[in-house]
Amino acid sequence: MVGVGIAVGRRAPQEEGHVQIQNLIDGAWVGASDSSSLRVVNPARDEVIAEVPSVGVAETRSAIDAAWRARVAWASRTAGERGDLLSALAGLMHRDADRLAALMTSEQGKPLAEARGEIAYAASFLSWAAEEGKRLTGDIIPASAPDKRILVLRQPVGVTAIITPWNFPAAMITRKLGPALAAGCTVVIKPSELTPLSALAIGELACEAGIPDGVVNIITGEAGAIGDVLFDDDRVRKLSFTGSTRVGQMLMSKASKNLLRLSLELGGHAPFLVFDDADIGQAVGAAIACKFRNAGQTCICANRFYVQDGVYDEFAARFAEAIENLTVGDGAREGVQVGPLINDAAVEKVESHVADARSHGAKVTVGGKRVHPKGLADRFYAPTLIKGMTPDMVLAREETFGPVAPVARFTEEREAIELANASEYGLAAYFFTRDASRLMRVAEALEYGIVGANDGGPSTAQAPFGGVKHSGFGREGGRYAMDEYSEIKYISWQL
């Protein structure tokens, strides 16, 4: 275990065994003023792997002070200079990909191959934003008077609070950090208390890349206490939050005090539709990737499957076989495809959803119970297939966030669209068909921010990622992300 107070931050980040456990405020690595700390636990082994500071009001204010002081100089740099620093950070993430992936697996549990994939994905947001910042252009609009000119500028929003979840400990940060920094904002990042090490490691690389002191600040600690300081300080002008709908709603009301700009990336409940004319092999492959990545703990993972009568039996049989072949275990072991759930509460939630489905008459045909890989924690749930899902089951209404695939039949296209849209969430939806007319019709009818048409993996740096309804608002990725971190200023110029 790495203890609070050890000045490990002075060693080179790439040095063997190095883990940064201090907070980053104004370019310095610091602990909590009262020495309080949070334990970071490896979910697969239930072992404490590090302790990080649990900071409070004073440190949160210091982080805001630093971001506030740094903002004018950072915004004054050219977009090219900011882009170069973001590109350097992306390069360092690639250089240290193996180390960062191992760290992520140890605190989050996802298989190493997925963690490596996440590091590359996380770096891609920085690289994209590094270029896109150069295209953050304004307008000159023809005026209505001959002696006037209308100029429209884009300027940085200012100090931005970034609050992120535990399921993608690196990518959820860089998806915000890239466009925020590219647009000229400075940031205070509060990662999930469950996965702070990946965030601190990125902070360390940001320092190595040469990003100036105070531009990126990272603090760890009790979420409510830190949040209250962030929302109370009118120098903070924006909150970019990714997490649950429940917390997002609460933060939205707190953010109203200072009328913060908001980007809210919230929960999902993705439907996955398979039509009679689908390529079943393609649909099964996508269903496995989309459902079981990160043990089902992703906001866009398929949460409910609707399969048309004509292909139901074939899809269910091939899906069952593929699920049975998944390897469950410690994500640190090469070849493991499904790791642990993040904590005991997550396993209990999955169990309660499966028990509810059983009590409503569903049939569990694969899995449906915990598994106990030797020597590991009791946090592994078998990849599960459930047949006979009905709308009254919790599985059909709520985000399960676990490796459970409930399947139901449908007959008509219209019925499938109604089932898919019968949710308060609107993040991602998937469907499989080889009929081009149906493809466009269904894509347009789905009330979701992201639609995977014959595609189970739509996330990528250049595309807009975000939801509608209770999945939140705002878009991350691509040129759209830049709008979230820039204000429009209109200059009316009389000659």
Q: Which is nearer to ligand NAP, 83 or 248 (CB)?
A: 248
In the complex, the smallest distance separating the C-beta of residue 290 from ligand NAP, rounded to whole angstroms, is 14
Is residue 191 within 8 Å of 199, Cβ to Cβ? Answer: yes
Distance of alpha carbon 300 from alpha carbon 429, whole angstroms:
8
Is residue 118 within 8 Å of 459, Cβ to Cβ? Answer: no
Strands (E), 74-163: 139-141, 148-156, 159-163
Structure tokens at 429: 């939806």
Catalytic one of 299, 398, 413, 484: 299
Is residue 367 within 8 Å of 351, Cβ to Cβ? Answer: no
Active site residue 265: yes
In the complex, the smallest distance separating the C-beta of residue 147 from ligand NAP, rounded to whole angstroms, is 48
Spatial neighbors of 348 by CB under 8 A, at least 6 apart, are none
Distance of alpha carbon 453 from alpha carbon 440, whole angstroms:
9
Q: Which is nearer to ligand NAP, 195 or 308 (CB)?
A: 195
Active site residue 299: yes
Q: Which is nearer to ligand NAP, 38 or 100 (CB)?
A: 38
The CA angle 395-464-202, to the nearest 5 degrees, is 90
In the complex, the smallest distance separating the C-beta of residue 219 from ligand NAP, rounded to whole angstroms, is 11
Structure tokens at 77: 């740099």
Q: Which is nearer to ligand NAP, 291 or 387 (CB)?
A: 291
Please report how the helices 196-209 and 97-108 are oriented relative to each other, as an axis angle in degrees rounded to 10. 160
In the complex, the smallest distance separating the C-beta of residue 431 from ligand NAP, rounded to whole angstroms, is 20
Distance of alpha carbon 117 from alpha carbon 185, whole angstroms:
27
Catalytic one of 265, 399, 413, 484: 265
In the complex, the smallest distance separating the C-beta of residue 382 from ligand NAP, rounded to whole angstroms, is 22
Q: Which is nearer to ligand NAP, 133 or 248 (CB)?
A: 248
In the complex, the smallest distance separating the C-beta of residue 376 from ligand NAP, rounded to whole angstroms, is 22
Q: Which is nearer to ligand NAP, 21 or 284 (CB)?
A: 21
Instruction: Give Cα separations from 416 to 276, 316, 425 (angstroms).
Output: 12, 17, 16
Distance of alpha carbon 25 from alpha carbon 29, whole angstroms:
7
Chain positions contacting ligand NAP, by CB under 6 A? 163-168, 172, 190, 192-194, 223-224, 227, 242-244, 247, 251, 265-268, 299, 399, 427, 467, 471
Tell me which residues are annotated as active site: 265, 299
